[in-house]
Structure 1
């Protein structure tokens, strides 16, 4: 991983990740289908927000979920047990750069909101490739904060988004990695890389997205770095309040919001390793 997880390991962040997964399940998981019995590796499962979506949409898969944080894994176990007690999930605590699984032991690899936190995403993708059988596939989903734009337009709000991007870079990650997914997979040796944008658009006619995405996902994500930004002197408290207030206007009548995620599916070539 990078130096640390820029959003922090808090109850608020756990709630945000859950809200995000539930709000965007139909958008981000559309087309991600695995047959019963398929062995799937999910790296960087965190608190299990995406794990729940995987096992509920793909009953009968044999899922292995990995994370570096023992606390997050404990939350993930409890979350899946409550939401999908029938699911067959093997939990593994460890670094995704040094996993103990045999070459070619999985049919599919699922990586969601993980590469953005890595200092060397290409190297990690290259290491993970050996774990999937030739002819198997990888699914990668990442966002790109520069794709966020909203009405009313606000330089104060944009300043906070830029602050989040800068803090993530300082922590060793890349909040703009969505645009790099295709070239990263290509460079890491995957074949037939197919990438598509998954766009979220919200206005008052889409109240579930106004609440679930603008408020509970995006604004909550920006707010997660508030204390870090203020402590570093990157923004003043007044600047932060003004920026958040302007972001909130996008969730009010007359406001609009746009954001794009990038989803790629690629194949593991014959002779991979």
Structure 2
């Protein structure tokens, strides 16, 4: 799985991932719970930001969490403890069978997400399920409108594409899962809307998750000539305007579920 994580592995990114997971826990994890005794594979667990929420909702499940980064796994182990089977592994190197697979914010970074999903299908027992959650930066719109703010967001989309990923992948989940051979594919948007009446979302999502994610690519965006420093500064300043008294911010995540039909082809 040849991929480059556009957001990097610095401490601010680990903090952003944790803030995102905690702020959006109910939005993203509602409806996801695994039976006691079931074997669950979390793909691309990173620093364990989502892992804790999986455990809280499925305390009796046996969770195996994989990631390619040893540094991220060390942080995950420190965050969660030893109740999880932590493994440094590429998803294509896994050849065991699981009852359920959980994939969150991973496909967006892969050059061949369909190929990854097809492999994950082979890891599911017949009747097993997969849950996939992804964002779509094209769903971000805000008030006050600003061409400069949109240009900063577009820099993130461009850099992720250049790294082999797709920051607009949320809209592709249905065709990707169907193309990989899964059955019963269902996709639904999980929308975040923040304004001054929802201060927790303004702080935890608009500032702490989305704007922080955009700010994380500043150095690369300017160095690559995608934007000048003054243009970047203006764009980020305008994004922060959306967090003030009369600002608003909207974003949609997409959550897909599917299964491997018993007796179906592998």
User: Which of 82, 85, 89 matches 1:90?
Assistant: 85
User: Which of 110, 114, 120 matches 1:128?
Assistant: 120
Which residue in 2 is equivalent to 1:55?
Answer: 55
Q: What is the total number of aligned residue pairs between the two structures? A: 265
Which residue in 1 is equivalent to 2:65?
Answer: 65
Which residue in 2 is equivalent to 1:261?
Answer: 253
Which residue in 1 is equivalent to 2:170?
Answer: 178
Alignment partner of 1:237 is 2:232:
no
Which residue in 2 is equivalent to 1:115?
Answer: 107
Which residue in 1 is equivalent to 2:200?
Answer: 208
Contact 1:2 1:171 in 2 (8 A): no
**CA separation of 1:94 and 1:167: change in aligned 2, threshold 3 A:** same
Runs of 4+ in 1 over 4 A off after TM superposition: none
Gap regions ≥5 residues in structure 1: none
Please give the per-residue CA displacement for 1:186-223, whole angstroms capped at 9, x wherever unaligned: 00000000110000000000000000000000000001
- Write the distance in 1 (CA, Å) between the matches of 2:245 and 2:255: 30
RMSD: 1.0
Deviation at 1:48, TM superposition (A): 0.4
- Write the distance in 2 (CA, Å) between the matches of 1:49 and 1:129: 24
Which residue in 2 is equivalent to 1:17?
Answer: 17
User: Which of 249, 266, 269 matches 2:241?
Assistant: 249
Gap regions ≥5 residues in structure 2: none
Which residue in 2 is equivalent to 1:153?
Answer: 145
Deviation at 1:2, TM superposition (A): 4.9
Contact 1:66 1:94 in 2 (8 A): yes
Query: SS where residue 20 of structure 2 aligns?
Result: helix
Deviation at 1:264, TM superposition (A): 0.4
**CA separation of 1:77 and 1:160: change in aligned 2, threshold 3 A:** same
